[in-house]
A and B are shown apart, each in its own frame.
With several copies, the nearest count.
Chain A
């Protein structure tokens, strides 16, 4: 069934709300009263509900099936978290209402900070960044602020980023004016320690490293890297996107990390929501802690208070680099993440990492004969394959991914990381059962065999069974249509 665009449901006279016209009053809009029609459609509540219910049925979701997007960590989203975020005492408070009326909200932020600091072994945290990439920006700003304080901002202009990094890493460094210098990978999928050391120098501001890295591997030399970075007078930014692989077992603070953001959705199960909202708190080492941005929460004998201006910070003895957000960050996500942490506890969170790694290795071990794994040894939370096993079949990684859709699965992450050809990055997460993973493995093996036995059409034409066949992305980009427009001649839309 085709679902019209909302605007095509327009039926002037219908309305999805009942609002009484205000009693007569003397408007005080000055010369700014809006004139003319905006163009918004008129639709009743039953039609609106049905429209969005029908749209929803065109989406794949973690609640419907395994969602093996490597690096994206699609795990179960507990409904308890949703319920907690909707408590009036947490959801219905204003960021600027008097501090004495939000003591519980500040306590919650303080408690979340405590958990994040304990889990990472780092002494400070900035909660405010609105997403992972925003957290990266925050971390790198703190690094630059520290360099400014040391008077080395002018001289340190280079940031080292491995080839396998998330695109946000170089984008963030570039935004701050840094020159991005790529570190090559070894054939084992890790930072080439020698090449890295060779790139170090007095002009290096920082290294940005993901660990576990985007190949799903733990950087064995991480402590040596950290030591070398510090010796060179630079800072170690760790992309914490994959923190879920080690939470409770390894503390970034013990590895020498100076700043790391944490994607609350990946590690602590806040919902992805079709692309957000995220939340990207950043933990800091002693060296960077004083530069953590405004605002932050302090607990003293008078209760909880917000340090939200430079004046407050001065009184508090810190030296914040500035402000990332208007208010205090993604409170709604803080509630959910804390509910998740409290539910698991120290024991459950350690189990999270273990089960995530176990599930990924089980996939790796089960598929490595039919697929081709570029690197040796156990992986962490995600299993990486390349497209060598498809050689000569005429099937490419993209085709393979689309064929998975017809089997009822969301494709894995593909063509990332860039360091292997036709990459397929599979992250089952810790919330998949063995029964579920077994079924997935069987399906993947079946597909691999089909690809190798010349069943090419099954792949290149896929998907066949989805709400849509392959979409013309090139056409979309060439002549972008970014909004609905009424049909040109005056006639009813259908």
Chain B
């Protein structure tokens, strides 16, 4: 087997040194009735060519986003990733290294984590950030737990702007950790959500997403004020981190914790994962943060260096008293984020955001002209919601047959909610061309 270097001869020699007659002897602690003699019922080993064929056959049954006019967002966005990013993250030294527990020989990883933390803090407008979470949704769950720790309260309020699957993740965590949760109904664009009325003395936090699930940009300032007045924290969720190149960051609108999905920068769609959760907060809450943190320090010669720090919060030290049970971060995805963000820089990040916004505005203007279509949003970044004259799920299905992947029918994630049945959530990024927009418009006219 190509990945296994030991030969029969090696094995024999090694058993000799060990003093065992056979490998079976080394498994003698396994209870006899649990020892399997034969092979499990699965195919035998395969060469590279065969594996490529089998997986290639599966891959060929999917429609890659790049192969059609593509307009799905809702928490995962198709952006162009510069070739240097994927090249660099595949370097052996990054790809095949472990968690930097031995800082002397992992300064490469540690320094980019430090750079990542700085970038995340800057773009969210916050003071400090951690070295990443699994993704945006799980980061959102951790943020709620952190708010409970900070405020020593046990109830959170989730705005109807929050992505339903994020809400489900928070709900699940909250249920099992025996916390309380109030989940507001879907906040449609153009309809004011009366969240202030739900902010009381007993809540630890209120969670608001911007751009919201329906693409609408939300003003966090009044919510932050109201929350702070009641001793609660404002958790802002940013599902499309590129938006902060064009939009006022939550940190400037009073958020106490900002959670973001970093996939848009440097990372592909990958059918939902791996992604990279961004997590930023105020310095005063630093020691309550979950996840890994990288900090600057000096070595024995006085040279600048980096280490994982504040690990007394973590499970491998604190065990059942840890701030969370998290062990890994999203290392390689944060590296991709950091490299892409480095290439973009201040101007590139902002300009890419403008390009995205322009693409979405142009698309909205085009589609608004299709008879029966109504754009619901007042303010949006690269995603908006339209009301169609019939169920959106049917329309999306019909669009597929016309070669256009037109967006997410809100009903897929909010089944049974009558007022979203006809809503289609549409995203547009720099990958969409004028031809894509024209194809969408033409196809939509046909299927409506």
Contact = CB atoms under 8 A, between A and B. Distances in A.
Contacts of B335: 52, 273-274
Contact of A365 (B19, B64, B324, B351): B19
Interface in A401-438: 401-402, 405, 410-411, 416, 430-434, 436
Contacts of B391: none
Interface residues of A, number: 214
A40 B346 contact: yes
Nearest to A63: B92
B197 interface: no
A223 B33 contact: yes
B262 to A, nearest CB: 12
A108 B332 CA distance: 23
B93 to A, nearest CB: 4
B6 interface: yes
Contacts of A104: 57-62
Nearest to A484: B118
Contact of A346 (B42, B97, B166, B379): B42
A345 interface: yes
A477 B19 CA distance: 48
A33 B248 contact: yes
A151 interface: no
A93 B76 contact: no
B59 A96 contact: no
Contacts of A471: 103-104, 297-300, 305-307
Contact of A48 (B272, B294, B318, B342): B342
Contacts of A100: 397, 400
A60 B106 contact: yes
A59 B309 contact: no
B146 to A, nearest CB: 13
A40 B270 contact: no
B190 interface: no
Interface in A1-49: 2-3, 5-7, 11-23, 25-35, 37-49
A175 B345 CA distance: 39
Contact of A358 (B14, B62, B178, B412): B14
Interface string A345-378: 1111111101101110110111000000000011
Interface string B10-36: 110111011110010111111101111
Interface string A171-199: 11111110010000000000000000000
Given A97-B72, A343-B3, A361 B18 contact: yes
Contacts of B359: 22
22 contacts: A13-B10, A17-B2, A29-B381, A40-B345, A56-B93, A58-B105, A90-B59, A93-B270, A94-B269, A105-B62, A168-B315, A168-B325, A172-B325, A249-B36, A254-B34, A272-B98, A273-B332, A308-B412, A329-B272, A361-B14, A482-B309, A484-B114
Given A16-B2, A330-B274, 6 more contacts: A15-B345, A18-B45, A94-B76, A277-B330, A325-B169, A377-B29
